[in-house]
Structure 1
Amino acid sequence: MSDVTIFAPSPTLTVTLESAADDADEIHLHAGGQGVWQARMLHRLGISVTMCCTLAGEAGQVIRHLLADDAVEVVAVERRGRGSAYVQDRRGGERVTVGEETGDPLDRHDLDELYGAVIREGMRSGIVILSGPADDESLPADTYRRLAADLREAGCTVVVDLAGERLDAALEGGVDVLKISDEELRHHGLTDDSPRSVARAMAAFHHRGARTVIVTRAEEPLLLLDEEGLLEVTPPKLEVADSRGAGDSLTAGVVAGLVRGDSARTAITLGAAAGALNVTRHGLGTGEAEAIAELRERVRIRPVKEDSGASEGVSPDGLAALADTEGEA
């Protein structure tokens, strides 16, 4: 039995071309995708993971072996057809996509089998991350509503980092922790990036079904909102080598804290540290646990007042007022 179950419907085979020190070409193969990057960071933090996914075609067979190298237990629905994969050229310093395949959508039978596996493994671990597919056509968005509702009914803690229709569906089912970027908030109607406006949008998500809402804001401090109020979380600012995967590392760090019995308010410091370290690396979802632990001591947290940003908490009544004035995000 693993500590955490991850729903990763369509992991991706990534092939990357890079330049070696002697000007030769290097070719790297990895398993990738949101759920994989979350699983990789959880493993770095000493948390065991079961990944429920589909594996299709040649790409799927390679992904299975690569996940085993990352010490991820794989519960897979194997199917015919094309799996998700891409080839990127990074020899010039920037990521240039040479070729990409999103893979075939799941049919009804494969989805039913995968759904049952997530419920079974989720009940065994007690905490489930619902991650996104390779593309919007892989499976119906309503799958996330059903999974969120059924997992919580089964007593599981549900954590999501989703977007668009999948996010809306998961909120309808109800989630314990929602991690979202301010960029995604803008897709939901946010026009003002001020902390108060972001807090209003967070409160709307809170009242739509997310017990705890975490918002990343690029170079600005993170924000966390729950029944106790609003927190501002400031991680150390490190030099950025690659910002991709930082949000997934943050989510994984929060979940690692929850597994160890932390509240979300305490776990956010581990998540912020994991995300901060990940941007210094080219490997997504990577970083040494010892370095993350040291960075965690340097994460600053302060409660935020509704009107002025002073060091006072937003009351539960204040949360309701924020949501009422903003309406749905």
Structure 2
Amino acid sequence: MGSGRSHNPEEVLAMGAAVVFAPSPVLTVTIEDLDGEADIHIHAGGQGVWQARMLQALGASVTLCGVFSGETGRVARDLIQQHGIRVLGVEGAGSSGAYIHDRRGGERKELAESRGHRLSRHELDQLYSLTMQAGIAAGTVILSGPAQEGLVPADAYRRLAADLTETGCTVIADLAGDRLTAAVNGGVALVKVSHDELVDSGRAGSTGPEDLIRAMRDLVGEGAATVVVTRADLPSLLLHEDEVHEVHAPSLETVDTRGAGDSLTAGMAAALASGSSVREAVTQGSAAGALNVTRHGLGTGDAETIRQLMGSVRIVPYRGGHQRESAKGTTPDELAKGLRTQ
């Protein structure tokens, strides 16, 4: 893999099909301030939902597989479908998770949360079958985590990864802890994980690059073909075909950091689903993640701005250290304007 810029972003943004395994979507209520008045927003949320929204924004044909239970589940399912995302859902017992957040003070303040119920064996069997059916048809599948611990057994991820890979699917794991270990043991094409998650799970002794790279190589030894590790405001690390690279993305003014990693995963999945290379996928994913921090909506963005931002993503061989090569304090409009004049 050489360094430099992606040569043809338009090709990377071509249409593809992808499936998101999102076992426990949640209903989210967020209170914002609008000129001193409460501005209330109701959305479906959770890792898999945010990934599906970004995939859809990038032009992919998206199917989300999840369990929807009770009133909160029915509302969440309707909201997802309103975004043009195909839903293959299991009608579960109990109720799906939900939360209410207040952002009027500038930071998120949790007012209430309902965690949802642990999936029963019957619900999990149904969801497994739906995911296999959709995954075989699409060819690309993201395995995302549940909203809360204990809702889905880790071994379900191993079985899904193994069976989907056996059928020729490109499997992408955006997981942590036992679920990450299980999925990798099943065999996956790509892992995206944060540096904090590697340390918290005991895979890395610190967030230092050498410790992270050792953990990445361990993941490859266990069954991952490619590993991407995000490092907050530092360049991400990419391990592909036994070579380590740094991924330098533009540092834009931050509104909300939540959802940036999910947008990164979705951007990579959309590119791989359209037949792009790993390098092109990482470039697109990094641009999608960079844009997402500038927005209140998680997993949101527009394909044209992401295409413009891709020209500012640099993938360079890892030489040690962590010097950034990207611009700071740039807005998406400023960066896009600059790129159009180049």
User: For 2:251, what is the secondary structure of its paired residue?
Assistant: coil
How big is each residue's C-alpha offset from its partner over 1:44-94, in whole Å with a ceiling of 9 and x where there is no partner?
111111011010000011011100111110000012311110011111111
User: For 1:190, what is the secondary structure of its paired residue?
Assistant: coil
User: For 2:136, what is the secondary structure of its paired residue?
Assistant: helix
1:281 aligns with 2:295: yes
**Distance apart, 1:300 and its partner CA:** 1.0
Q: How does 1:53-64 map to 2 (within 5 A)?
A: 53-64=66-77
User: For 2:207, what is the secondary structure of its paired residue?
Assistant: coil
User: For 1:232, what is the secondary structure of its paired residue?
Assistant: strand
Q: Which amino acid aligns with 1:217?
A: R
Q: Which amino acid aligns with 1:150?
A: D
Is the Cα–Cα contact under 8 Å of residues 18 and 139 in structure 2 kept in the other structure? yes
Q: Report the CA distance shift for 1:211/1:40 in structure 2 as closer, same or farther (over 3 A).
A: same
With the length of structure 2 as denominator, give the TM-score of the two structures. 0.87
Residue equivalent to 1:204: 218
Distance 1:269 1:197 in 2: 24
Distance 2:321 2:100 in 1: 48
Is the Cα–Cα contact under 8 Å of residues 15 and 87 in structure 1 kept in the other structure? yes
Residue equivalent to 1:251: 265
The number of aligned residues is: 308
**Distance apart, 1:256 and its partner CA:** 1.1
Distance 2:179 2:246 in 1: 27
Distance 1:224 1:34 in 2: 22
Residue equivalent to 2:198: 185
Q: Which runs of 5+ in 1 are unaligned?
A: 310-329
Distance 2:229 2:263 in 1: 14
Comparing 127-136 and 183-192, the one that deviates more: 183-192
Is the Cα–Cα contact under 8 Å of residues 206 and 226 in structure 1 kept in the other structure? no
Q: How does 1:1-329 map to 2 (within 5 A)?
A: 3-21=17-35, 23-187=36-200, 188-305=202-319
Distance 1:42 1:243 in 2: 18
Distance 2:222 2:240 in 1: 13
Structure 1 residue runs of 4 or more that deviate by more than 4 Å after TM superposition: none
**Distance apart, 1:122 and its partner CA:** 0.4
Q: Aligned-residue CA RMSD in angstroms?
A: 1.7
User: For 1:137, what is the secondary structure of its paired residue?
Assistant: coil
**Distance apart, 1:226 and its partner CA:** 1.5
Higher relative contact order (CA 8 A, sep 6+): 2
Is the Cα–Cα contact under 8 Å of residues 42 and 49 in structure 1 kept in the other structure? yes
Distance 1:131 1:235 in 2: 23
Q: Which runs of 5+ in 2 are unaligned?
A: 1-15, 323-342
Residue equivalent to 1:317: none
| Identity between Structure 1 and Structure 2 (%) | 53
Is the Cα–Cα contact under 8 Å of residues 209 and 321 in structure 2 kept in the other structure? no
Q: Which amino acid aligns with 1:177?
A: L
